[in-house]
Amino acid sequence: MYDVFLETIRTLKRGEPCVLSTVIRTKGSTPQKPGAKLLVKLDGSGIGTLGGGCVEGDIWFAAKNLLIEGGTSEIKDYYLNEELAEKDGLICGGTMYFLLDTVLKPTEFLPIAQEIVAAYENGSAVGLASIIKSPKGAEIPVGTKLFIRADGTTTGTLNNSQLEEFAKNKALELMPFGRCEFVNFGGIELFIEGYTTPPQLVVLGGGHISKALSNLADTLSFSVHIIDDRPEFSNAARFPNAQTTIVDTYDKGLDRIPISQNTYIVIATRGHKFDDMATEAAARSQAGYIGLLGSRRKSLMIFEELFRKGIPEDRIRAIQAPVGLALGGRTPEEIAMSIMAEILMFHLGGNPKPMKMSDSLVEKAKGKSKEPSKTG
């Protein structure tokens, strides 16, 4: 979304109106998920994507018409039936809901877009709550916004103090992880988005698994930081994808990186003594995720020491030890994959369950296979 907001700022600075279209909700199988954005400008150009195909084309057309006619923000839903999916070469069968946000007076949204970009660029996290639907009599127009900062200050109004407090609290919950959520408050529907810096992976230890982790994390747009007390194991040549390579003790080295809830720490040092020190330092930080590489026996010994040192029990219980999903990996690359899979699960709010279809759906496909083919 970073590029979309950068282009929004450039457009607004030129005094040009635009429409920012956002996927706010989905049901079933769809080509994009909530939070996806498409900026449409008056000249018909734009940036971002809502999933491509007829869906994106129709929303693009609707956004262009809003600009031409000077219309207000509106909600559109789009049902991906089999005919449309087949036309686009998609195999989807869900419904997508969009907020088409018109920005006809550039100065109104420009400061918000600038603060969102600043949040992406290591500034304070921010949130944005938009009205999607309100009951008759509430008279809150679609697209009405409340902008929320990490310190609790706000800009804008939702014309309801209780609603604003609810939106602010939900935004503060989502902001540290850059997540979004469709919510309902007393019949009023809102879409709340959080914006923060890209997720960062801090690896304590510069061994083979750390190298594989660095490569994987880089492809997934994580900012990577490596800490090791040996220069030959923490340097730019060994970790070309890392933003920083720090040579220091694990406790002091961690102090040299700005840690937030959107930070994921993996402890993979060369021995129990160093793992102990690194895990304690990580547990005392603000990191949203801590993973400890190693056996259950080693993890239990380190946990015992953490309890002795007074680390809060809830913080100890939150440590992923042993780290990673049970993929059965043995090589450094396979182990790194299991760790990054778990980190992505936490980052995106997913779960480790397979997406494999149920037997009943397979039976449905078997039954349909006996019907005449639509393409035959």
Q: Are residues 181 and 192 in contact, defined by beta-carbon separation less than 8 angstroms?
A: yes
pLDDT at position 91 is 46
Q: Are residues 289 and 315 in contact, defined by beta-carbon separation less than 8 angstroms?
A: no
pLDDT averaged per 10 residues, the chain (length 376): 93 94 86 89 90 81 91 87 49 78 88 95 92 84 95 94 96 92 95 93 97 96 96 97 96 92 94 93 95 95 96 97 94 97 90 86 88 66
For 372, left (φ over 0), alpha (ψ -120 to 50), or beta? beta
pLDDT at position 355 is 83
Indicate the pTM of the whole model: 0.75
Q: Are residues 340 and 216 in contact, defined by beta-carbon separation less than 8 angstroms?
A: yes
Q: What are the DSSP calls for 228-264, one per residue? A: ESSGGGSSTTT-TT-SEEEES-HHHHHTTS---TTEE
The CA dihedral of 354, 356, 360, 364, to the nearest 10 degrees, is 160
pLDDT at position 350 is 83
Residue 28 per-residue DSSP state:
S
pLDDT at position 272 is 86
pLDDT at position 8 is 95
pLDDT at position 375 is 52
Query: Which domains does the chain show, CATH number per domain?
Result: 2-106 (no CATH), 122-195 (no CATH), 200-348 (3.40.50.720)
pLDDT at position 218 is 94
Query: Is residue 97 helix, strand or coil?
Result: strand
Rounded CA separation 111/133 (Å)? 25
